[in-house]
Structure 1
Amino acid sequence: MNTQELQEAFLKLYGKPAEALYFSPGRVNLIGEHTDYNGGFVFPCALSFGTYLLCRKNDDKVVRFRSLNQKEYVEVALDKLQTPHPKSWINYPMGVFDQFIKRGFSIPFGLDQLIWGDVPNGAGLSSSASLEVVTGYMLNDVFQTHLNRVEIAKIGQKAENEFVGVNCGIMDQFASANGEKDHAIFLDCNTLDFELVPVKLEGVKVLISNTHSPHKLDSGAYNQRVAECKKAVELISKVRPIQYLAELTEADFKEVESALASDPVAHKRARHVVSEVQRTTDAVKSLKAGDIDKFGQLMNASHVSLRDDYEVTGLELDTMAEEAWKIDGVIGSRMTGGGFGGCTVSLVKDEAIDSFIEKVGAAYQAKTGLKPDFYVAEIGNGACRLKLGE
């Protein structure tokens, strides 16, 4: 669907044309998984697909939430914008309204909204963060609240933490808000210092493989990992006070890991985080140095750690990565996103892409019974306002 068709759909639904159009992208994380809420480094990039939001002011003192991706249409009075709707998709954008209100910004008039996204739901490419950020960007523009992109990202994260109930880190919202075309973001999730690193891959493409085994971060498994890491911090802090696992180097971890002897699960979770932070740092150095092969090796090691120590992969993601490793011309492949389903991300030489799609797709379907989809990723810009009529 193009933006002109979206505008026509808005006019048909509301009887009046939209006044503004916004876009915010999904993201793929090249390396640095489950490190964001542990105060570590991540290395995501914004994608060319994402979430579009059309809106128009109304005098009815209600906010109308419509999505062409969802059957549920909800109308919320302005004085009810801080009341969650059980098991509803609108909690993602409503959580953003809630955060604006909590920050002292008023919502003095109603809004008619139409949302459409081409980020595959449940694929681990941050459809939820894209929705949160496009909502925040829209509210910031419509109500002239003068927030910067980092604050919009923080609002999106808070919305998901407090309104939806998923204890996610800042990475997804940050990438969606701050992405830049043909760059990945080397982000310190503790300080929010970041560097835009050019992704120059001569003869190599970023290939996303959708397992079609949807991850459900609100199912509790994600929050459980967050709790397990907090437990590891508590145990380590008895011998060395820390706030986040990512404060520890690998050498530091060897000195204090005996503090985790009473909790083997917490030990494994901590070992993944500490090693993943180091892998992410090394991967960025490798990319800057033009050593793509080293970057790929670190991607593979990341998947193994997520499989064995963090236990967030499962049959589908493991099959997809393992089949990719067999293909000549695959530089590296790993799960991306929260896990428990979703997508893998691979670096694949141009001449191997067709073979990858054919062979990996067939092997994956034979082992899982699921038909995968593949996307050659284009690295795009972060949230923006688009011109109407185009």
Structure 2
Amino acid sequence: MIDQNMKQAVLDSFEKSFSKKDGVKAYFAPGRVNLIGEHTDYNGGHVFPCALTIGTYGAAAKRDDRMVHFYSCNQDRFGVYGINLDEEIKPTPEAGWANYPIGVIWAFEKRGMKLDKGFDLVINGNIPNGSGLSSSASLEVLTGFILRDLYGFEVSNQDLALIGQYSENNFNGCNCGIMDQFAVAMGKEDNAIFLDTADLSYEYAPIKLEGAKIVIANTNKKHKLTDSQYNARRSMCEEALAILQKTVDIKGLGDLSVEEFEAHKDVLTDPDMQKKAKHAVYENQRTIEAVKSLKDGDLAHFGELMRQSHESLRDDYDVTGVELDTLAEEAWKIPGVIGSRMTGGGFGGCTVSIVKDEAVENFKKTVGENYLKKIGYEATFYTVEIGNGPEVI
């Protein structure tokens, strides 16, 4: 559902920033939440994300010269930042948030899709910054979608996801998997995406939550993946895979069943490495089981698997922290909470919960009060809906 106020704000800001009204188009790309399947996407496993109706709004128009200008309503202190397409495109500290759309331009050019002229871009997002709901992937996919629309490049939405991931990996220095960009680019209203990250095969799974809502709780502890231990986790999993490949014929940790992992885990002599690999394997199997539960209408089991997922992310993968643990553990105590877990990369960000309609207000009040008491500052709660991928609005 497009927020007309957000759309109008980005168009008004474009006119104010660039004194131009004619030929300007408005765009939207969603944020995403992952229901289950965390830190599996770079291990060749399954994930189960969905696009949200909150996201990033953009207004853009081509220029007659080779300049590209960026302005964010959310990052007003940066003002307008510009690059010249005739100069080398590279990340710089001065660009700040604009390194994300600049990285997408760079990645398009790496694929031979060069911009003949520049453009002006204004963005306005309602994804809480640093929340782990993929504001960066939303911005990357939005930029790619705008480039396709303005310049007529022949790329699919799946290509937009791959280009966004490539730019974040190689331009912005975060070694993320494909899930975030794929969920943003391929989102479908009222459906989650059951994605096998090993080969990008996927299916849409209807999310029918009769009598329940998806509620996101934001720790309000900012995280930044490139500054976190995210890359270190990925490196350890890659090392574990290399060791296991000497014993079993696999391409990724997601190829292992629980039984196969248990039979071969002792080749991983580093206890911490073994725990990280265990999470990747068990979480992948939980995700497959969770989607089956959803198809069978067994929401209670889906919720139990969400809990197991959080416990594994806490105890084996070590990416939660006291803020996320408090939100999840307080949620589990509330009658009417079907399931709750951290979502996203971790180290801050959000939890996602499935809560019965009649319990939503009590959930927000009680979890919020207990979080404030323990952590010392407030959490923020959002009841969200599942939306579509990028579009012209």
TM-score, normalisation: structure 1: 0.97
Give the match for residue 274 of structure 1. Answer: 281
Q: In the alignment, does 2:243 pair up with 1:235? A: yes
Counterpart position of 2:72: 67
Aligned match of 2:102: 94
Distance 1:233 1:35 in 2: 13
What is the CA-CA distance between 1:240 and the residue it aligns to? 1.8
Identify which range, 86-95 or 196-205, moves more after superposition.
Answer: 86-95
Measure, in 1, the Cα distance between the counterparts of 2:175 and 2:103.
Answer: 14
Is this contact kept in 1: 2:10–2:73, CA < 8 A?
Answer: no
- Offset, 1:173: 0.3
CA positional deviation for 1:317: 0.1
Residue 351 (str. 1) matches residue 358 (str. 2): yes
- Offset, 1:2: 2.6
Find out whether 1:222 has 2:230 as its counterpart.
yes
CA RMSD of aligned residues (A): 1.0
**Other structure's SS at 2:389 match:** coil
The structural deviation recorded for 1:5 is 2.6
Supply the distance in 2 between the matched residues of 1:115 and 1:335 (Cα, whole angstroms): 28
Which secondary structure state, in structure 2, belongs to the residue aligned with residue 89 of structure 1? helix
**Which of the numbers 201, 208, 213 marks the counterpart of 2:209?**
201
Structure 1 stretches of 4+ with a deviation exceeding 3 A read none
Letter in 2 for 1:140: R
Counterpart of 1:340 in structure 2 is: 347
Partner of 2:16: 12
State the partner residue of 1:155: 163
2:364 aligns to what SS in structure 1? helix
For 2:203 and 2:243, locate their aligned partners in 1 and report how far apart those are by CA, in whole Å.
33
SS of the equivalent of 1:301 reads helix
Q: Deviations over 1:247-276 (max 9, x none)?
A: 111011011101102x11110010001000
**Does the 8 A contact of 1:19 with 1:56 survive in 2?**
yes
SS in 2 for 1:362: helix
Q: Is residue 42–residue 178 contact of structure 2 (8 Å, CA) maintained in 1?
A: yes
Partner residue, 2:174? 166
Count residues in correspondence. 385
Partner of 1:133: 141
Letter in structure 2 aligned against 1:28: V
1:176 is aligned to: 184
Residue 81 of structure 1: how far off its partner (Å): 5.7
Is this contact kept in 1: 2:62–2:150, CA < 8 A? Answer: no
The CA deviation at 1:63 is 0.3
1:112 equivalenced with 2:84 (yes/no): no
The 2-side partners of 1:243 and 1:221 are apart by 24
Q: CA deviation at 1:83?
A: 1.2
- 1:317 maps to amino acid: L
Q: Which amino acid aligns with 1:41?
A: H
CA contact (8 A) 2:59 2:123 kept: yes
The Cα shift of 1:56 comes to 1.2
Letter of the aligned partner of 1:11 in structure 2? E
Contact 1:268 1:310 in 2 (8 A): yes
- Structure 2: distance between partners of 1:80 and 1:330: 54
Distance 1:214 1:81 in 2: 32
Q: Deviations over 1:192-250 (max 9, x none)?
A: 11101000011011110001011210114000000010111111122124321111110
C-alpha distance after superposition, 1:42-78 (max 9, x if no partner): 0000000101111111123100011111121311001
8 Å Cα contact 1:81-1:98 kept in structure 2: no
- Equivalent position of 1:43 in the other structure: 48
Task: Give the alignment's TM-score, normalised by structure 2.
Answer: 0.96
- Structure 2 segments unaligned to the other structure (5+ residues): none
Contact 2:6 2:57 in 1 (8 A): no
Counterpart residue identity of residue 101, structure 1: E
Query: Residues of 2 paired with 1:80 and 1:285: CA distance?
Result: 51
Matched residue SS, 2:347: coil
Residue type of the partner of 2:354?
Answer: L
Q: Which moved more, 1:211-220 or 1:36-45?
A: 211-220
User: What secondary structure sits across from 1:64 in the alignment?
Assistant: strand
Q: Secondary structure at the match of 1:365?
A: helix
1:7: how far off?
1.2
Sort the Cα spacing of 1:190 and 1:81 in 2 relative to 1 into closer, same or farther, 3 A. Answer: farther
- In structure 1, stretches of 5+ residues that fail to align are none
